[in-house]
A and B are shown apart, each in its own frame.
Chain A
Amino acid sequence: MAEKKEPLGDDLNRRQFFTKLGLGSLSIAAVGTAAFSYQYLEPNVLYEPSPVVNAGKPDRYPPDSVTLDVNNGIYIIHAKEGYFSLSAVCTHLGCLTAWKQELNMIACPCHGSKFEQSGKKIEGPAPKPLPWKRIWINDDGDLLVDRSTEVPALARDSFVKV
């Protein structure tokens, strides 16, 4: 059966034109579906705990003490220069570290990383020191820590005095 060719513009016959149109539309629809699918997989609202943590009154923390807040994954440290807060989440693979009073260091139970009280890395697979978190006192006199922040270690503004 001989096919009758009807040239339309640039050497496209009717069938080739509709094939191109169909495949083109399908490609656009596929790209759109991929984009919407990606957006769908990314939650727009997260029901996660607030990054700002109320750590209570400063006098809960005696001088020269390191206190781990297990639920929020932060340390509140009362040093000579004032109060400061460290992330207790290991920079290696996210385990919760612990303060070892007798060794005067922070240690991770998972892979053995060790940190100083200031968050500085002593050894172990952890690539970075424990980050410092912004700490301040609100109008009620409570210590607040914002876990989503990172402030420079040992900087004067990174401490809060009472």
Chain B
Amino acid sequence: MAKTLDHYFEEMQQTRVWRSIFRSGAGSSTLKRALAIQQNVFLHLFSTRVRTRMLGFSATWYLGTLTLGTFLILVTTGIPLMLYYHPSVPQAYVDTKDLQFVVSSGLFLRNLHRWSAHAMVFLVFAHMFRVFYRGAYRAPREFNWVIGVILLLITLLLSYTGYLLPWDQLAYWAITVGSNIASAVPLVGDKIHFLLLGGHGVNANALLRFYVLHCMILPSTATFLVAIHFWRIRKDGGLYNHHSEPTTVRAKKGNPTITEAK
């Protein structure tokens, strides 16, 4: 049975339609395998060749990939949630309750969205600690660290803007307090507060602005930066390997001026 399926699959790979989509074609030569990566719009961001040990758990603890995983869960659960949620003062809270108690699988989607959001914040921090303590932020990866810091801020802003959307007491006062912290910025603080909320208090305009930020502006910015973040891994010499770093190698050769980073 399995053999027949394989046979059909191999036959399908020879068809003109298949070859028009996957140009590199089947085959296990180094060239074919490199082409399979390089000619795929998603995979071409990554290196065509990676050392096997860099794909092991101990090299990265998979923290960056897991963060991407939670982000994808958040996008795929967030879009269906938008179908039942109206970002307006009379409806927002009721819609949230409807999602929990009336809509089929609504509770599952909402909870999955919420838990993934918590997990993403945790994983982003864990990823950054891992990168920091391994020294993977150093040259030539400084700029990717900077992009990572911006992505951390976007993650926190996504968490913050999403917090208002249920429009309950917890949300209302959290955003009141949070937006008042923005007012503490010297000179332009009150202006930032006004522009963020679209008014003087947490009201209909604030709910709509936070909704647009949460569902449109922040996720698209994050997607854009994540693409650069991944592409730069390849451009900056692949996944970080402590023992192949120039300083480490030179220190091991007995150069007294350079000590190995612990």
Interface of A toward B, CB cutoff 8 Å: 41-43, 46-48, 92-95, 110
Contacts and interface: CB of A to CB of B under 8 A. Distances in A.
Nearest to A127: B184
- Chain B interface secondary structure, helix, strand, loop or mixed? helix
Interface residues of B, number: 15
A43 B198 CA distance: 6
Contacts of B177: 93-95, 110
B176 A93 contact: yes
B58 to A, nearest CB: 44
14 contacts: A41-B198, A42-B195, A43-B198, A43-B199, A43-B205, A46-B200, A46-B205, A48-B200, A48-B203, A93-B177, A93-B180, A94-B179, A94-B180, A110-B173
A94 B176 contact: yes
A46 B194 CA distance: 11
A110 B173 CA distance: 9
B201 interface: yes
B55 interface: no
Interface in B178-198: 179-181, 194-195, 198
A95 B200 CA distance: 14
A43 B203 CA distance: 13
Nearest to A91: B180
A47 B208 CA distance: 14
Contacts of B173: 95, 110
A29 to B, nearest CB: 23
Interface string B4-24: 000000000000000000000
Most buried by B among A42, A46, A47, A92: A46
A42 B194 contact: yes
B176 A47 contact: no
